[in-house]
Amino acid sequence: MPATQPSSIAARQQRDGGWGYGRDPWTEPTALAVLALSTEPGEHTSSVRAGTDWLRRARRTDGGWPPNPGVDQSVTWATSLALLALLRAAGEPCTGSVSWLLDTSGRETSFSFRLIRMFSEKNPDREGFEGWPWFPGTAAWVAPTGMAIRALEKARAQQPPHIERHIGERVQAGRDFLLARRCLDGGWNHGSSRPLGYEAESYPETTGLALLGLTSAPRAALEPSLERAARQFGECHSAQGRAWLRLALASHAHSVPAAADEPASRDITDAALDVLAHAAERGSNVFA
Amino acid sequence: MIADRPITRRSLLAGVGAAALSACGRGTPRTVVAPLVSITRISDYGQDLFDEVRRIVTEHRVGVKGKRILLKPNLVEFNVDAPINTHPRVVHAALEAFRSLGAADVRIGEGSGHRRGSLDMADAAGYLDEIPGFEKLFTDLNFDEVTRVRLARPAIDLESLYLPNTALRCDLLVSLPKMKTHHWVGATLAMKNLFGLVPGGIYGWPKNLLHWSGIPESIAALHATFPRQFCLVDGIVGMEGNGPIQGTRKAAGVLVAGSDPVAVDATACRVMGLDPAKVSYLAMTATNGQTNEENVKQIGGTVHSVATRFAVIPEFESLRIG
């Protein structure tokens, strides 16, 4: 059983259909809550409908989603999760949102930055592969890249051919981005594996999200990373970190080790991810 | 470990600007009252800390009565064996001091910029065990309600920021950083601690927007946006070397405090053996010459009495005093 029941997530829905970290609704918890409720088909129908309606209202005219409706900027991870939620719960292709994600990449792969890097770059693990930033106009990072890859791969079958092709190219570049930034210990840090010449340590949440992004990658290349993820599981202090690891290990059909303790569930995102991880371990993985 | 560093051309420009400002600051006659900075020698995180912190706040005549106070510690990592996070006893002592001096409300807030889950990190760091009712006092600033604020001192590509209402609406922001070296700016103290006010829930982890706008420039922008501060630097045990995460323990046995963040950080730098005039964000913001020791009114111990040479990575050997 998951530590959280989906019904308790439904009970925390706000009157306007969204979910928040605290008082007001935000995109990320709403999208994750909708995804979590969708793991019990036929249940929570009205909650899911109200949640998807909230997501449609929150979507910006550029196709992306802001972190919350008060923010005048679309961001990648909220867009990836909202896209996954609408695909899963409403079967919507969300082509405009897919296009927004495809048009967004790390600033370090922009033409002007590449030009400057030609003369100054010393860091060998920046291979120039296009990943996704958290916030437009900044560098690409592991976590938003993992999320964007999953969202685009899930959306791919419903897109027109030219967008489908573009998705294939960006997903491949995203995978290359992730593989180029794997740490020596097999997992992933936020970005570079060797910043300023020092070996970076990997983290549970970034390792989990990178492995989710690499779901379709050849298994043999990922064995050390899956082993690292399994080891991180027992060392991880946050419910969210553990949930991303569980989702990743389930996506790669790798067993999840037993853990002595259960980190506290702090908010709706922790609760929703716990439900999603539990469902994934039983064969219903919304990210796979 | 944060990974991506912006264009070096910007760093170069920032350095040139900082050097120019530094030179101006040193040569400008002082026309304002010298900021007060206290140096308190204290060897450990024992019970004496409560009395010492209360004495420090009293000594500085911080206007506390009836005020809404936000304590802002530095929570960076889950690894509790390394001196990365502000020690929970320092935060507890500050909480009790401000309460006892008549604050209307004292809250604790942090928006960790490195790992998500500030409350999880606070738990791992022992805050929930140390501070009664911590969870009710704590706001994760990464997910607080926000207001878009035009920055008092814009940086490159950074004219406004969404900032947490809990920080914007407090009467006094109390910066409670750990005394650490920093592999990008030399030292991370009270001013750099303000990066934790920028919500990861909007800008992500790490808050890379601030890196692209220039770290020193972003520090200066946040400093100008939060003018009502008190700072208490936890230098009882700090970090040297490849800080702020991968460095090693360095016991300096000191608290550095004051209401002028530039003067406090400049003094803390001197304690660490670093020349504040060479630290770019201090040079940029020392409008009253605070990087010059003569322009700071120091009370308690002297820098000399607590000076502890912090090792720095080779890139920052040039920051050494002398």
Q: How many CA atoms lie within 13 A of B95 on its CB side?
A: 20
Q: Are strands A140-141 and B36-41 parallel, antiparallel or unpaired?
A: unpaired
Whether B156 has its CB under 8 Å from any CB of chain A: the answer is no
Long-range contacts of B58-63 (CB under 8 A, 24+ apart): B58/B101, B59/B299, B60/B36, B60/B230, B60/B257, B60/B258, B60/B259, B62/B101, B62/B172, B62/B230, B62/B259, B63/B172
> Which residue of B lies nearest to A27 if distances are taken between CA atoms?
B201
DSSP secondary structure string for all residues of A63-93? S-B-SSTT-SS-BHHHHHHHHHHHHHHH---
Secondary structure element (H or E) that encloses residue B26, with its range:
helix B8-27
Contacts of A70 in chain B (CB under 8 A): 145-146
Tokens of B98: 């401000």
* pLDDT, tens digit, 9 for 90 and up, residues B88-143: 999 999 999 999 999 999 999 999 998 999 999 999 999 999 999 999 999 999 99
User: What is the nearest CA distance from A116 to chain B, expressed in angstroms?
Assistant: 8
**Closest Cβ opposite residue B202 in set A67, A116, A267:** A67
pLDDT (average), residues B56-71: 97
**Percent of chain A clearing pLDDT 70 (strictly above):** 95
Measured CA to CA, the distance from residue B322 to residue B318 in angstroms comes to: 9
Query: Measured between CA atoms, how close is A245 to chain B, in angstroms?
Result: 15
Q: What is the pLDDT of residue B20?
A: 39
What part of B 200-229 touches A (C-beta under 8 Å)? Answer: 201-206, 208-209, 211-212
A residues 91-110 lying closer than 8 A (beta carbon) to B: 107-108
User: What is chain A's Cα-based Rg?
Assistant: 18
Q: How many helices and strands, by DSSP H and E, does chain A display?
A: 12, 2
A 178-207 near B (Cβ less than 8 A): 181, 189-193, 195-196, 198, 200-201, 203, 205
Nearest Cβ partner for B4 among A23, A24, A139: A139
Is the Cα torsion angle B221, B17, A139, A270 positive or negative in sign?
negative
Nearest Cβ partner for A139 among B123, B205, B208 = B208
pLDDT of residue B25: 35
Calpha distance B15→B314 (Å, rounded):
17
Q: Is the pLDDT of residue B46 over 70?
A: yes
pLDDT at B2 over 50: no
For residues B180 and B271, the answer to whether their CB atoms sit within 8 Å is no
Nearest to B76, CA basis, from B193, B157, B169: B193
Whether residues B313 and A196 touch (CB distance < 8 A) is answered with: yes
Q: Is the pLDDT of residue B317 over 50?
A: yes
Read off the pLDDT of residues B237-252 as tens digits, 9 standing for 90 and up. 999 999 999 999 999 9
Q: What is the mean pLDDT of residues B176-191?
A: 97
Contact A191 B78 (CB under 8 A): no
- What's the average pLDDT block by block, 10 residues per block, for chain A (288 residues)? 84 97 95 97 96 98 98 98 97 97 92 72 64 96 98 97 97 96 96 81 96 93 96 93 97 90 93 97 94
Dist CA B124 CA B120 (whole Å): 6
Tokens linked to A85: 């939620």
Of B174, B168, B193, B197, nearest to B182 by C-alpha is: B193
Nearest CA in chain B to A267: B117
Rounded to whole angstroms, the Cα distance separating A205 from A245 reads 7
pTM score: 0.92
Name residues whose C-beta falls within 8 Å of residue A45's C-beta, 6 or more positions apart in sequence: none
The crossing angle, in degrees rounded to 10, of helices A95-102 and A161-180 is 40
Which pLDDT does position A138 carry in this prediction?
A: 95
Q: Tell me which chain B residue has its CA closest to the CA of residue A77.
A: B204
Residue A70: exposure state from Cβ atoms within 10 A (0-12, 13-18, ≥19)? middle
pLDDT, tens digit, for every residue of A241-261? 999 999 999 999 999 988 878
Structure-block tokens of residue A281: 């371990």
pLDDT in tens, B194-213: 999 999 999 999 999 999 99
Going by the DSSP 8-state scheme, the letter that residue A200 receives in this structure is: P
3-state secondary structure of B42: coil
Which one is predicted more confidently, A221 or B266? B266
* Cα(A40)–Cα(A279) distance, integer angstroms: 9
pLDDT over 80 (residue B15): no
pLDDT in tens, A150-184: 999 999 999 999 999 999 999 999 999 999 999 99
Cα separation, A161 vs A167, in Å, equals 10
Nearest CA to CA, how far is A81 from chain B (Å)? 14
How far apart are alpha carbons B166 and B97 in whole angstroms? 20
Strand partners, A265: none
Residue B293 CB coordination number (10 Å):
15
Residue of A nearest to B202 (CA): A67
Query: Mean of the pLDDT values across residues B16-33?
Result: 46
Nearest to A120 by CA among B195, B6, B81, B14: B6
Beta bridge partners of B234: B178, B255
B148 touches chain A (CB under 8 A): yes
pLDDT (tens digit per residue) in A59-75: 999 999 999 999 999 99
| Partner residues linked to B320 by β-bridges | B274
pLDDT value, residue A127 = 60
Long-range contact pairs involving B13-16 (C-beta distance under 8 Å, separation at least 24): B14/B214, B14/B216, B14/B217, B14/B280, B15/B280
Which residues, at least 6 apart from A124, have a Cβ–Cβ distance to it below 8 Å? A194
CB atoms A135 and B209 under 8 Å = yes
Check B1 against A195: CB less than 8 A apart. yes
